[in-house]
Protein backbone atom coordinates (compact mmCIF):
# COMPACT_ATOMS: atom_id res chain seq x y z
CA UNK A 1 0.00 0.00 0.00
CA UNK A 2 1.52 3.29 -1.10
CA UNK A 3 0.57 6.01 1.38
CA UNK A 4 1.11 9.76 1.22
CA UNK A 5 0.83 11.76 4.45
CA UNK A 6 0.44 15.54 4.30
CA UNK A 7 1.76 17.33 7.37
CA UNK A 8 2.31 20.93 8.48
CA UNK A 9 4.91 22.54 10.71
CA UNK A 10 3.21 24.93 13.16
CA UNK A 11 4.37 27.22 15.99
CA UNK A 12 4.47 25.67 19.45
CA UNK A 13 1.03 26.74 20.74
CA UNK A 14 2.29 27.77 24.16
CA UNK A 15 4.66 30.30 22.59
CA UNK A 16 2.47 32.01 19.99
CA UNK A 17 2.75 35.78 19.98
CA UNK A 18 1.06 38.42 17.83
CA UNK A 19 2.69 41.52 16.36
CA UNK A 20 0.48 44.41 17.59
CA UNK A 21 1.40 46.58 14.58
CA UNK A 22 0.85 44.10 11.75
CA UNK A 23 -1.67 41.81 13.52
CA UNK A 24 0.22 38.76 12.26
CA UNK A 25 1.80 35.79 14.04
CA UNK A 26 5.40 36.28 15.13
CA UNK A 27 7.18 33.15 13.89
CA UNK A 28 10.78 34.30 14.25
CA UNK A 29 12.47 32.71 17.24
CA UNK A 30 9.42 30.56 17.99
CA UNK A 31 9.86 26.81 18.24
CA UNK A 32 8.05 24.87 15.52
CA UNK A 33 6.56 21.39 15.82
CA UNK A 34 4.62 18.99 13.65
CA UNK A 35 0.93 19.84 13.85
CA UNK A 36 -0.36 17.56 16.66
CA UNK A 37 -3.17 16.02 14.58
CA UNK A 38 -0.65 15.19 11.83
CA UNK A 39 1.27 13.04 14.30
CA UNK A 40 -1.72 10.69 14.40
CA UNK A 41 -1.77 10.64 10.59
CA UNK A 42 1.90 9.63 10.51
CA UNK A 43 1.38 6.92 13.12
CA UNK A 44 -1.62 5.48 11.29
CA UNK A 45 0.32 5.32 8.02
CA UNK A 46 3.11 3.38 9.77
CA UNK A 47 0.61 0.96 11.29
CA UNK A 48 -0.98 0.37 7.88
CA UNK A 49 2.44 -0.24 6.36
CA UNK A 50 3.19 -2.76 9.11
CA UNK A 51 -0.07 -4.58 8.28
CA UNK A 52 -0.02 -4.42 4.50
CA UNK A 53 3.49 -3.44 3.44
CA UNK A 54 4.20 -0.65 0.99
CA UNK A 55 5.76 2.80 1.15
CA UNK A 56 5.11 6.02 3.07
CA UNK A 57 5.89 9.43 1.58
CA UNK A 58 5.55 12.50 3.78
CA UNK A 59 4.74 15.82 2.09
CA UNK A 60 4.80 19.28 3.60
CA UNK A 61 4.62 22.80 2.20
CA UNK A 62 6.65 25.44 3.99
CA UNK A 63 10.02 27.19 4.41
CA UNK A 64 13.36 25.32 4.28
CA UNK A 65 13.30 24.70 8.05
CA UNK A 66 10.23 22.46 7.58
CA UNK A 67 12.85 19.89 6.60
CA UNK A 68 13.03 19.08 10.34
CA UNK A 69 9.37 18.00 10.40
CA UNK A 70 9.96 15.61 7.50
CA UNK A 71 12.94 14.05 9.25
CA UNK A 72 10.93 13.57 12.42
CA UNK A 73 8.25 11.76 10.42
CA UNK A 74 10.92 9.55 8.83
CA UNK A 75 12.27 8.72 12.30
CA UNK A 76 8.80 7.42 13.20
CA UNK A 77 8.77 5.00 10.27
CA UNK A 78 8.06 6.90 7.05
CA UNK A 79 10.25 6.14 4.02
CA UNK A 80 10.89 9.51 2.42
CA UNK A 81 10.00 13.19 2.58
CA UNK A 82 9.07 15.84 0.04
CA UNK A 83 9.37 19.54 0.87
CA UNK A 84 7.25 21.85 -1.29
CA UNK A 85 9.11 25.13 -0.94
CA UNK A 86 9.02 28.28 -3.06
CA UNK A 87 8.44 31.98 -2.36
CA UNK A 88 5.76 31.79 -5.04
CA UNK A 89 3.66 29.75 -2.59
CA UNK A 90 3.83 32.40 0.18
CA UNK A 91 0.49 33.74 1.39
CA UNK A 92 -1.48 30.68 0.26
CA UNK A 93 -4.89 30.22 1.85
CA UNK A 94 -6.42 26.78 2.34
CA UNK A 95 -7.60 26.58 -1.30
CA UNK A 96 -4.20 27.49 -2.79
CA UNK A 97 -2.44 25.24 -0.27
CA UNK A 98 -4.58 22.22 -1.13
CA UNK A 99 -4.09 22.92 -4.86
CA UNK A 100 -0.31 23.04 -4.40
CA UNK A 101 -0.17 19.88 -2.27
CA UNK A 102 -2.38 18.07 -4.77
CA UNK A 103 0.11 19.05 -7.47
CA UNK A 104 2.93 17.51 -5.45
CA UNK A 105 0.93 14.31 -4.92
CA UNK A 106 0.30 14.05 -8.67
CA UNK A 107 4.03 14.41 -9.29
CA UNK A 108 4.77 11.62 -6.79
CA UNK A 109 2.63 9.35 -8.93
CA UNK A 110 0.66 6.23 -8.05
CA UNK A 111 -0.78 6.05 -4.52
CA UNK A 112 -3.47 4.16 -2.67
CA UNK A 113 -4.17 6.45 0.26
CA UNK A 114 -3.62 10.05 1.38
CA UNK A 115 -3.83 10.75 5.13
CA UNK A 116 -4.05 14.15 6.83
CA UNK A 117 -4.67 15.30 10.38
CA UNK A 118 -8.21 16.61 10.80
CA UNK A 119 -7.00 20.23 11.10
CA UNK A 120 -3.99 22.42 11.87
CA UNK A 121 -3.56 23.98 15.29
CA UNK A 122 -2.66 27.39 13.86
CA UNK A 123 -5.62 27.72 11.51
CA UNK A 124 -8.27 25.24 12.73
CA UNK A 125 -10.12 25.35 9.40
CA UNK A 126 -10.07 21.59 8.63
CA UNK A 127 -10.25 22.55 4.93
CA UNK A 128 -6.91 21.50 3.44
CA UNK A 129 -7.49 17.73 3.56
CA UNK A 130 -10.91 17.86 1.87
CA UNK A 131 -9.48 20.43 -0.57
CA UNK A 132 -6.71 18.04 -1.61
CA UNK A 133 -9.27 15.29 -2.24
CA UNK A 134 -11.32 17.68 -4.37
CA UNK A 135 -8.32 18.70 -6.49
CA UNK A 136 -7.34 15.04 -6.91
CA UNK A 137 -10.95 14.03 -7.62
CA UNK A 138 -10.85 11.12 -5.16
CA UNK A 139 -13.25 10.06 -2.36
CA UNK A 140 -12.66 11.43 1.14
CA UNK A 141 -13.68 10.40 4.64
CA UNK A 142 -13.14 12.94 7.41
CA UNK A 143 -12.76 12.52 11.21
CA UNK A 144 -11.70 8.88 10.97
CA UNK A 145 -11.22 7.23 14.38
CA UNK A 146 -10.47 3.66 13.25
CA UNK A 147 -9.46 1.73 10.16
CA UNK A 148 -11.39 -1.54 10.30
CA UNK A 149 -10.44 -3.33 7.10
CA UNK A 150 -8.49 -2.60 3.95
CA UNK A 151 -7.84 -4.35 0.64
CA UNK A 152 -6.03 -3.22 -2.47
CA UNK A 153 -9.32 -1.79 -3.78
CA UNK A 154 -11.29 -0.52 -0.77
CA UNK A 155 -11.18 0.46 2.90
CA UNK A 156 -13.73 0.38 5.71
CA UNK A 157 -13.39 2.95 8.49
CA UNK A 158 -15.20 4.36 11.50
CA UNK A 159 -15.97 8.06 11.20
CA UNK A 160 -16.47 10.00 14.43
CA UNK A 161 -19.69 11.95 14.93
CA UNK A 162 -20.80 14.22 17.76
CA UNK A 163 -22.95 11.46 19.27
CA UNK A 164 -21.32 8.24 18.11
CA UNK A 165 -19.77 7.05 14.85
CA UNK A 166 -20.67 5.72 11.43
CA UNK A 167 -19.02 2.97 9.37
CA UNK A 168 -18.07 3.98 5.84
CA UNK A 169 -16.57 1.90 3.05
CA UNK A 170 -14.70 3.79 0.35
CA UNK A 171 -12.96 2.71 -2.83
CA UNK A 172 -9.23 3.39 -3.15
CA UNK A 173 -7.43 5.62 -3.83
CA UNK A 174 -9.01 7.87 -1.19
CA UNK A 175 -8.15 10.54 1.36
CA UNK A 176 -8.69 10.27 5.12
CA UNK A 177 -8.47 12.94 7.79
CA UNK A 178 -7.91 11.42 11.23
CA UNK A 179 -8.69 12.39 14.83
CA UNK A 180 -6.60 11.79 17.95
CA UNK A 181 -8.78 8.85 19.02
CA UNK A 182 -7.34 6.73 16.20
CA UNK A 183 -4.02 5.83 17.87
CA UNK A 184 -1.14 6.86 20.11
CA UNK A 185 1.93 8.14 18.19
CA UNK A 186 5.11 6.19 18.86
CA UNK A 187 8.43 7.51 20.13
CA UNK A 188 11.12 7.26 17.43
CA UNK A 189 13.74 4.57 17.92
CA UNK A 190 17.47 5.24 17.82
CA UNK A 191 17.63 3.40 14.50
CA UNK A 192 14.84 5.61 13.16
CA UNK A 193 16.59 8.79 14.32
CA UNK A 194 19.82 7.76 12.62
CA UNK A 195 18.01 6.91 9.39
CA UNK A 196 16.16 10.23 9.44
CA UNK A 197 19.40 12.16 9.91
CA UNK A 198 20.97 10.59 6.81
CA UNK A 199 17.84 10.65 4.62
CA UNK A 200 17.77 12.83 1.53
CA UNK A 201 14.81 15.22 1.42
CA UNK A 202 13.35 16.00 -2.00
CA UNK A 203 12.54 19.67 -2.59
CA UNK A 204 10.09 20.86 -5.24
CA UNK A 205 9.20 24.41 -6.17
CA UNK A 206 6.91 25.99 -8.74
CA UNK A 207 9.33 25.06 -11.55
CA UNK A 208 9.24 21.35 -10.70
CA UNK A 209 5.48 21.20 -10.11
CA UNK A 210 4.48 23.35 -13.10
CA UNK A 211 1.34 24.69 -11.42
CA UNK A 212 -0.90 27.46 -12.76
CA UNK A 213 0.69 30.67 -11.38
CA UNK A 214 -2.78 32.21 -11.01
CA UNK A 215 -3.78 29.49 -8.54
CA UNK A 216 -0.86 29.58 -6.10
CA UNK A 217 0.34 31.90 -3.37
CA UNK A 218 -1.36 35.12 -2.42
CA UNK A 219 -2.71 35.92 -5.88
CA UNK A 220 -4.28 32.46 -6.13
CA UNK A 221 -5.97 32.69 -2.73
CA UNK A 222 -9.67 33.65 -2.81
CA UNK A 223 -9.59 34.38 0.95
CA UNK A 224 -7.20 36.50 3.01
CA UNK A 225 -6.65 36.96 6.74
CA UNK A 226 -7.50 40.58 7.50
CA UNK A 227 -6.59 40.59 11.17
CA UNK A 228 -5.32 38.32 13.94
CA UNK A 229 -5.85 39.46 17.51
CA UNK A 230 -5.71 38.24 21.07
CA UNK A 231 -9.17 37.90 22.66
CA UNK A 232 -9.78 40.37 25.51
CA UNK A 233 -8.93 39.00 28.93
CA UNK A 234 -11.95 37.72 30.82
CA UNK A 235 -12.84 39.67 33.92
CA UNK A 236 -14.23 38.23 37.14
CA UNK A 237 -17.98 37.72 37.41
CA UNK A 238 -20.33 39.39 39.85
CA UNK A 239 -21.66 37.39 42.79
CA UNK A 240 -25.30 38.03 43.62
CA UNK A 241 -26.33 37.52 47.25
CA UNK A 242 -29.65 37.44 49.04
CA UNK A 243 -32.93 35.55 48.94
CA UNK A 244 -34.32 34.31 45.62
CA UNK A 245 -36.63 37.35 45.08
CA UNK A 246 -33.73 39.70 45.80
CA UNK A 247 -31.41 37.88 43.39
CA UNK A 248 -34.13 37.87 40.72
CA UNK A 249 -34.54 41.62 41.11
CA UNK A 250 -30.77 42.11 40.77
CA UNK A 251 -30.72 40.03 37.59
CA UNK A 252 -33.53 42.08 36.10
CA UNK A 253 -31.64 45.26 36.94
CA UNK A 254 -28.47 43.95 35.35
CA UNK A 255 -30.28 43.00 32.13
CA UNK A 256 -32.03 46.36 32.05
CA UNK A 257 -28.71 48.21 32.41
CA UNK A 258 -27.14 46.16 29.62
CA UNK A 259 -30.05 46.90 27.27
CA UNK A 260 -29.93 50.59 28.01
**Amino acid 27: pLDDT:** 64
Let me know if 8 is exposed, middle or buried by CB neighbors in 10 A (0-12, 13-18, 19+). Answer: buried
Residue pair 204/66 in contact by the 8 Å Cβ criterion: no
Task: Output the pLDDT for position 181.
Answer: 95
Per-residue pLDDT in tens (0 to 9) along the chain, 260 residues: 999 999 999 887 665 666 666 555 666 667 889 999 999 999 999 999 999 999 999 999 999 999 999 999 999 999 999 999 999 998 899 999 999 999 999 999 999 999 999 999 887 889 999 999 999 999 999 999 999 999 989 999 999 998 899 999 999 999 999 999 999 999 999 999 999 999 999 999 999 999 999 999 988 999 877 777 667 787 778 888 889 999 999 899 888 887 76
Look at residue 238 in the predicted model and tell me its pLDDT: 81
Sorted by sequence, the CB contacts under 8 Å of residue 23 that are 6+ apart come out as 227, 228, 229
Q: How far apart are CA 77 and CA 70, in angstroms?
A: 11
Please count the helices (runs of H) and the strands (runs of E) in the chain.
7, 13
Global pTM value: 0.83
- What is the CATH topology of the domain spanning 2-215? Rossmann fold (3.40.50)
Question: What residue segments make up the domains of the chain, in order of their start?
Answer: 2-215
Return the pLDDT at 123.
77
Count the neighbouring beta carbons within 10 Å of the beta carbon of residue 111. Answer: 21
Amino acid sequence: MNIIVCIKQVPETTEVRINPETNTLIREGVKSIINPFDMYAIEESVRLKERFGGKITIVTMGPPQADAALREAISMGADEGVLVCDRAFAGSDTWATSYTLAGAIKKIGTFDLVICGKQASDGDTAQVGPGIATHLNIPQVTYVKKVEEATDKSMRVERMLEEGFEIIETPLPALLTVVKEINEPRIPSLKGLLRAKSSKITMWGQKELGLDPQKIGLCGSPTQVVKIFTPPQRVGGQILKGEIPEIAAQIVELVRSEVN
